[in-house]
Structure 1
Amino acid sequence: MKKFSHSENLKKEDEIMFFLKFAWRNIWRNKRRTIITITAITFATMITIIMRGIQLGSYEYFIRTIAGDYSGYIQIQREGYKDDPSLRKTFIYSDEIKKTIESISDIIAYAPRLYADVMISSGENSYGGIIYGIDPEIELNFSNFHKKVKQGRFLNKDSSYEVILGYKLFENLKIKLGDEIVILAQGFDGALWDMKFKVVGVVKLGYTELDNSVIFMNLKDAQELLSAENRVSVIAILLPELGKIEKVRQKLLSELTQKELVALSWEDVMVELKQSIDLDNASGVLFLAFLIIIVAFGILNTISMSVVERFNEFGISLAIGFKNQKLVLIVFLEIIFIALIGILLGCLLGGIFNYYLIKNPIVLTGEFASAYEEFGFEPKFISSLQPRIFINTGLSILIVSIISSIIPLYRVYKLEPLKGIRFI
């Protein structure tokens, strides 16, 4: 094995420093072209980061709003409930389960809920409905249901035999606030039960199916109606951030396995939402890839011009003993310098813009605002500063820049001294 002396190591280090300094000086020999190239890379990086930030920020907002209100980030349920959501698949809401949940510090809130299909009637009008048996006091800190009450009031902890209806169901029943309705349901024991409830509020959730059928009532009233004492369908769980879902889910699974319970993420429970996000994300990535490819052609054109203009210089260098490989290395370093400067500037500017959007979301107006509010969302654009946005964008631009340089570098590698000197 060949051994290198200390002096040989120093020589190699000096040679590397020479190439770095030489490449750095070369990129500023034609400042105008270099600045144009850096500006193009900066712009592409910045736009990509801003668009991905808004895209991922919107997804996070939708997940927090939809999953936070309905499924929770994680949901505890009995095995098989997702495929067969019936009363037979409910479970006892025991103190042991509460202690298990409360022992995990990352869980900031949890809400037990009991769901069931029922028949609701008033006078001659009858419709199918879905009971949402909730603990009103817990839901005030867990969901935004109370903020979506359009008439009347939300339930309180002392509410007894009171309900809130979806606004479409309320209109179809042709009733007024304060009227009584009758709810007929098949209980956990298989028997049919009916009870009278007073309508104290109307809620608009923004989802046609739920607005046509949802019935909010106190959890204890739902358990009484359904003969399901201390039973719940699910326990929805909130976390401080989406990144902790899998960690917390695994902890819950290890504790709940023996109780025939499972812990599912919002992705498992709200499959349609996950598929919608994946589809939109794919289209967004394709658009940004198209943008980056356009920039790649710009980089290729600039690098090719730079190389061709210096063929005469390269030919003279080769004639006095400079090797093609070293010329290729110098040109490659020039490309890396230009790409890195553009990427860093783009990341900085894109990060500043995304941070501003997080602190000052763009509030939509007009038809866009109405569309957002119709589905229960605040009409605003929000962004994200997830590290993967910057890492993926930076690496993509850098890789594209390197790929764009392959042809010009190959021409330098194959250049002959005489052809280079005679090139005009």
Structure 2
Amino acid sequence: MKKFSPSKNLRKEDEIMFFLKIAWRNIWRNKRRTIITITAIAFATTITVIMRGIQLGTYDYLIRTIAGNYSGYIQIQSKGYSEDPSLRKTFIYSDEIKKIIKSTPDIIAYAPRLYADVMISSGENSYGGIIYGIDPEIEFNFSNFHKKIKHGRFLRKDSSYEVLLGDKLFENLKIKLGDEIIILSQGFDGALWDMKFKVVGVIKLGYTELDNAVIFMNLKDAQEFLSAENRVSIIAILISELEKIEKIKRKLSEELNSKSLVALSWEDVMVELKQSIEFDNASGVLFLAFLIIIVAFGILNTISMSVVERFNEFGISLAIGFKNQKLVLIVLLEILFIVLIGILLGSLLGGIFNYYLIKNPIVLTGDFASVYEEFGIEPKFISSLKPRIFINTGLSILIVSLISSVIPLYRVYKLEPLKGIRFT
């Protein structure tokens, strides 16, 4: 007897449309089950997009707030300075270096800084400290140091022999605003130098280690005091997009290599911040992986039930000439329809929620807020709409769904016509 094939005389394009129509109709034969499955996938996608959005958005916020103010997204320094920071590893802040920085696309700001370990004393009280030699005018556009003044005022461009002290250091010295202090340090030339400075302000950065030791002074005063004329320890750089850090870092390193200078990213300089973000990110990804796996079991159950219920139908189709491969293709298309609808719906809902969080960040209160404020960070959660959030989420759920469908598809592939017709 001649076998009948419903797609035998169809063109390739018509055959594909035929299978798509059959698959689309099949998923709505049991509307309740299909809607429940799509809802489960959409829910998992929505939660994943929201959580990843909050994670990545918060990471970017922390990087912009912490790295942006202190190390910069990229930092230029002498080779070996990060391993052994000292005045001997400072470098000349030349016009040629400025020209290289200014000619590099996507750099929006840069700030030269000079650091040095010193002794600071007032009366009978003496403590170790760290000089932060900065250009006050540049820092107004680069960092938010001027927003963290606790008492007094920030440094001025034309000020001379004035300093800001970390609030803990100010308390330990037991002095008042307007008092003079003596700073002692070894200069670049190796000689010991001491100089009087007037305290014009108190700053609270939120980092205990810095607040116990930091001394902000005008860059030109620091260079004069340390006999380091026109020398700086680092040049901190801000760029327009965090994603371009590696590209700009490589370009600067190539151009500055002949001057024995290197360009380092904030990850190279602020290792602890990088590790904290990586640990939190890993724990978040692990939680979301469990969520996706649970959804995968739900998809496996749905597809298995759908396949088993139609064994009799499949058996008849095979008996009249349908090939197992064509049945597998139809079932696979049904799975793809359900999964893709769920992913698209979940991505839309998650994207809307993330957009709302970007415009209206979650402001923390209570103990959580205190912890953030202690580190000088505004206590809030913000989200992100980075394309990779949606791409990675969609691909993860799609791949896991297809893997969970392997067993039902294999059963269809191995089904024999007689066994299918007799199945009850």
Distance 2:366 2:264 in 1: 38
Cα shift readout 1:140-186 (whole Å, capped 9, x = no counterpart): 00001111111111111112111111111111111111111110000
Distance 1:218 1:11 in 2: 79
Counterpart AA for 2:203: V
Corresponding position of 1:265: 265
Corresponding position of 1:314: 314
Counterpart AA for 1:282: A
Distance 2:94 2:325 in 1: 73
Corresponding position of 2:51: 51
| In the alignment, structure 1 residue 327 sits paired with structure 2 residue 334 | no
Q: TM-score scaled to structure 1, two decimals?
A: 0.96
Counterpart AA for 1:74: I
Moved more, 246-255 or 181-190: 246-255
Distance 2:39 2:128 in 1: 61
Cα shift readout 1:282-330 (whole Å, capped 9, x = no counterpart): 1111111111111111111111111111112112212222222111111
Give the RMSD, CA atoms, in angstroms.
Answer: 1.2
Counterpart AA for 1:44: A
Corresponding position of 2:372: 372
Distance 1:9 1:23 in 2: 20
Distance 2:245 2:419 in 1: 63
Corresponding position of 2:120: 120
Residues 159 and 14 (structure 1), Cα distance of their counterparts in 2 relative to 1, 3 Å cut = same
Corresponding position of 1:207: 207
Counterpart AA for 2:335: I
Task: Provide the secondary structure at the position in 1 that maps to 2:228.
Answer: coil
Moved more, 183-192 or 408-417: 408-417
Distance 2:225 2:174 in 1: 24
Corresponding position of 2:246: 246
Q: Give the 5 Å matches for 1:340-359.
A: 340-359=340-359
Q: Give the 5 Å matches for 1:177-192.
A: 177-192=177-192
Counterpart AA for 1:384: S
Cα shift readout 1:38-95 (whole Å, capped 9, x = no counterpart): 1111111111011001001111011101111111011111111111100000001111
Residues 320 and 94 (structure 1), Cα distance of their counterparts in 2 relative to 1, 3 Å cut = same
Distance 2:24 2:409 in 1: 17
Distance 1:131 1:422 in 2: 87
Distance 1:26 1:156 in 2: 74
Q: TM-score scaled to structure 2, two decimals?
A: 0.96
Distance 1:187 1:165 in 2: 21
Q: Give the 5 Å matches for 1:89-108.
A: 89-108=89-108
Distance 2:397 2:315 in 1: 31
Query: Deviation of residue 118 (structure 1)?
Result: 0.3
- Find runs of 4+ consecutive structure 1 residues off by over 3 angstroms: none
Corresponding position of 1:5: none
Distance 1:53 1:237 in 2: 26
Corresponding position of 1:65: 65
Corresponding position of 2:5: none
Query: Deviation of residue 233 (structure 1)?
Result: 0.2
What is the number of equivalent residue pairs in this alignment?
A: 417
Counterpart AA for 2:302: T
Task: Provide the secondary structure at the position in 2 that maps to 1:154.
Answer: coil
Cα shift readout 1:18-41 (whole Å, capped 9, x = no counterpart): 111100110011111111111111
Distance 2:401 2:249 in 1: 41
Query: Deviation of residue 9 (structure 1)?
Result: 10
| In the alignment, structure 1 residue 81 sits paired with structure 2 residue 81 | yes
Q: Give the 5 Å matches for 1:129-168.
A: 129-168=129-168
Query: Deviation of residue 10 (structure 1)?
Result: 6.1
Query: Tell me, which stretches of 5 or more residues in structure 2 are unaligned?
Result: 1-7
Counterpart AA for 2:174: K
Counterpart AA for 2:410: Y
Corresponding position of 1:3: none
Distance 1:144 1:10 in 2: 69
Q: Percent identity?
A: 87
| In the alignment, structure 1 residue 30 sits paired with structure 2 residue 20 | no
Corresponding position of 1:228: 228
Distance 2:133 2:388 in 1: 40
Counterpart AA for 1:130: I
Corresponding position of 1:11: 11
Distance 1:379 1:195 in 2: 39
Distance 2:75 2:351 in 1: 34
